[in-house]
Amino acid sequence: MTEDRSANGYDWIMTKNQEKSEKLLLELTAIPTAAGHEGRVQAFLDGWLARRSKSLTWKRDRAGNLLIRRRNPSRRAPLLITAHLDHPAFVIRSIDDREVTLEFRGGVHDPYFKDAKIEIFDAEDGVHRARITSLDKDAKPFKTVTARLSRRPRNLEVGDIGRWAFTAPEIKVGRLKTDACDDLAAAAAALVAFDRIRKRKGCEHVGLLFTVAEEVGFVGAIEVAKNALSAKGGLINRSARLICLENSRSFPESPIGGGPIVRVGDRISVFSPDLTNTISQICQDESKRDPGFKWQRRLMPGGACEATVFATYGFQSTCLCLPLGNYHNMADIDGVTAGDRPARVAREEIAMADFHGMVRMLELVAGRLDRHQGKIRELLDGLHRDRGFVLER
């Protein structure tokens, strides 16, 4: 079955593989998740792995970070496509009849909590509706809300998670609108790309790394990096190169639909230049070969990324990201911050063309990175030789 679509750069005939990818994307981004409570997403990954158990091997550390490799990886330095499994969300701290106290793990501006509707999931995946009645913005370690349930709960317990209450996810007019693009849309792109890469000759060194608790201070990524440098070692070794995937707030200079982004840095740092520049060169070469291949190169300083963590601990790391609308479920952030608009939570959204572009970008990088690394140095050396006459006296 094929489908014609034409909007926001999403103009092509959808193949069965792309249809399958979008089904996975819709399913994964709708799963409730929170920092330190990524169990439902982990269960999804367990099912995905079980269907590929003959060719893959995997391991989790004590924090819940997950490394996936081919059963017979090459000895080349591992190239790990990395994404985090959490999204800003609520975690129950106490229950008193219909009054529930929840902490919010993640970054959302205070006005968005006022009178907002939320849904809370019990261990049986039952959904309990509630409305926020108060916010303690100064609570530590996380801001805390009180919410009133629409009816008396039966199965809710401390530790159950909640999120903003939205209508069902959908792909419409070339855009995905869903509960949590950040970072589950990137995790979906990683799974789709790796499924295509994992059987290819020359890509035996490519793997996946999924981290936890990114939204509360890179807890999982720091655990991975520090353990790798310890005497006992950890999930990854010191030679690993990491391509961290993100969903980053879109700005006019980084538009949704403009293509996936090679992210140069974030609000904290710039990433490993050799890795970033090599990937940029690969994308540039591909866009010359195929003008339909859209991509962007941007700093994206609106947030912070796990690539900063790994680079700080001495790893080669960089980031590829999807331009994101309604970052952390906040609609019209600038208007709300300026006091010109009322705060309103909304589904996050990305362009489907960008999602499929990220999958393609990952395939290109996996197959070409090692051949291209060092070429920029060669280019500069050649330029120096050719233009060295300017140094003559």
Q: Phi and psi of 165, rounded to 5°?
A: -90, 115
Question: Does 384 reside within a domain?
Answer: no
d(CA 280, CA 274): 10
150 and 287 assigned to the same domain: no
Query: Among all chains, which residue has been given the structure tokens 């005497």?
Result: 231
Enclosing domain of residue 113: 89-164
Q: pTM above 0.95?
A: no
d(CA 273, CA 265): 10
Reduce the DSSP state of residue 333 to 3 states and report it. Answer: helix
280 and 315 assigned to the same domain: yes
d(CA 285, CA 372): 11
76 and 105 assigned to the same domain: no
Domains contained in the chain, number: 2
157 and 71 assigned to the same domain: no
228 and 109 assigned to the same domain: no
User: Is the bond leading into 183 cis (omega within 30 degrees of zero)?
Assistant: yes
Would you tell me how many other CB atoms lie within 10 Å of the CB of residue 42?
A: 17
99 and 215 assigned to the same domain: no
d(CA 24, CA 370): 30
Domain boundary among 147, 164, 181: 164
Output the domain CATH number for residue 115: 2.40.30.40
Q: Do 108 and 328 touch, CB atoms closer than 8 A?
A: yes
215 and 302 assigned to the same domain: yes
Domain boundary among 164, 195, 230: 164
pLDDT (tens digit, 0 to 9) for every residue of the chain, 393 residues total?
Answer: 334 444 444 444 457 788 899 999 999 999 999 999 999 999 999 999 999 999 999 999 999 999 999 998 888 899 999 999 999 999 999 999 999 999 999 999 999 999 999 999 999 999 999 999 999 999 999 999 999 999 998 899 999 999 999 999 999 999 999 999 999 999 999 999 999 999 898 899 999 999 999 999 999 999 999 999 998 889 999 999 999 999 999 999 999 999 999 999 999 999 999 999 999 999 999 999 999 999 999 999 988 999 999 999 999 999 999 999 999 999 999 999 999 999 999 999 999 999 999 999 999 999 999 887 666 666 666 666 666 655 554
258 and 355 assigned to the same domain: yes
Q: Is 327 exposed, middle or buried (0-12, 13-18, 19+ CB in 10 A)?
A: buried
Question: Does 393 reside within a domain?
Answer: no
Question: Does 385 reside within a domain?
Answer: no
Q: Phi and psi of 156, rounded to 5°?
A: -70, 145
Would you tell me how many other CB atoms lie within 10 Å of the CB of residue 61?
A: 17
Q: Do 105 and 233 touch, CB atoms closer than 8 A?
A: no
374 and 272 assigned to the same domain: yes
b/e sequence 66-80, b meaning 16+ C-beta within 10 Å: bbbbbeeeeeeebbb
133 and 252 assigned to the same domain: no
345 and 276 assigned to the same domain: yes
Q: Do 143 and 135 touch, CB atoms closer than 8 A?
A: yes
Q: Do 356 and 283 touch, CB atoms closer than 8 A?
A: no
159 and 173 assigned to the same domain: no
